[in-house]
Amino acid sequence: MKLLITGGAGFIGSAVIRHIINNTADNVVNLDKLTYAGNLESLAEVSDSERYAFEQVDICNRTAVDRVLAEHGPDAIMHLAAESHVDRSIDGPAAFIETNIVGTYTLLEAARQYWQSLDGQRRTNFRFHHISTDEVYGDLESSVDLFTETTPYAPSSPYSASKASSDHLARAWQRTYGLPVLVTNCSNNYGPYHFPEKLIPLVILNALEDKPLPVYGKGDQIRDWLYVEDHARALYKVVTEGKPGETYNIGGHNEKQNIEVVQAICDILQDLRPRQTSYRDLITHVKDRPGHDLRYAIDAGKIQRELDWSPEETFETGIRKTVVWYLNHQEWCNRLQDGSYQRERLGVGT
């Protein structure tokens, strides 16, 4: 197979590409605009592969997307390109509307035209895999409910509303035009190569610099944590074995309060890189985010039953692997934090 992956220089996209190049015989075309969160250094271990190609393209640019599809002739599209940080969506929602809604529409239309041009078995086998988030469901009121594939949508932030919109578009293109669409909704990802603005890498890096560890409100928000390499395996399963028209929820079976996550990181760091006083002393409670959902939790039973996927990492094993990775990749982190990874690719002096 040849897979076109949008947003392949991002956190989850790069994990998917590394998984495919390292564990399959498939070819990958990475289509990425390279915004602030896109970092080709996350693909250094596979970028020299003859089965990997990169195209710096904005998914909102229909002409450029058409060219990539015509030149590379993919057998499937995995659409991960998105603006994804809730805080940024609150401060500047326009970019989320443009990328997540208009960009998805543009890509769907390009994919539809391309798919209709295919012949025979290639057309039958083509897939458009739209990757989304559990945040489209809003939050859960009880402590026992779980998000299922039929949970009504109730997004709370500009980010989740824009992703909900893109989900609806993808399903509409399936229903109206017959485009063979698959949709997945995942829980919170964590692991190697995560951009430092997100909770887990932010806490790790702040702790190493003796900076405050910010926790919204009481830190009692509950999330289901999914190790990114488990997610990458699931996404490949879906695009290769999933049934068009179906939705699959992907979760880690690891519900934790945010404060528990931060405390776990502190304790692992204390074990691996001891501090004179506890890293927990750095925890600082800050004003809560507007419209902050309290609890997300996914029922991933469908993908386990139908596609034989389940996560390999527990939260305890995954979070330790993550902390160790950041300790061993300080240079990668430093280049993101000081912006040099962007300046060099733009040809700007440091």
Indicate the helix (H) or strand (E) that contains 184.
strand 181-186
Burial of 23 (0-12, 13-18, 19+ CB in 10 A): exposed
Q: What is the pLDDT of residue 273?
A: 96
Tell me if 169 sits within 8 A of 101, measured CB to CB: yes
Catalytic residue list: 134-135, 159
Q: What is the pLDDT of residue 349?
A: 41
Q: What is the pLDDT of residue 111?
A: 98
- What tokens does 126 get? 């083509």
Q: What is the pLDDT of residue 198?
A: 85
What CATH number is given for 2-192+225-252+294-315 in this structure?
A: 3.40.50.720
- The Cα–Cα gap between 169 and 164 comes to 9
With a cut of 70, list the residues of the chain below it in pLDDT. Answer: 341-350
Q: What is the pLDDT of residue 343?
A: 63
Q: What is the pLDDT of residue 9?
A: 96
Q: What is the pLDDT of residue 344?
A: 57
Q: What is the pLDDT of residue 347?
A: 52
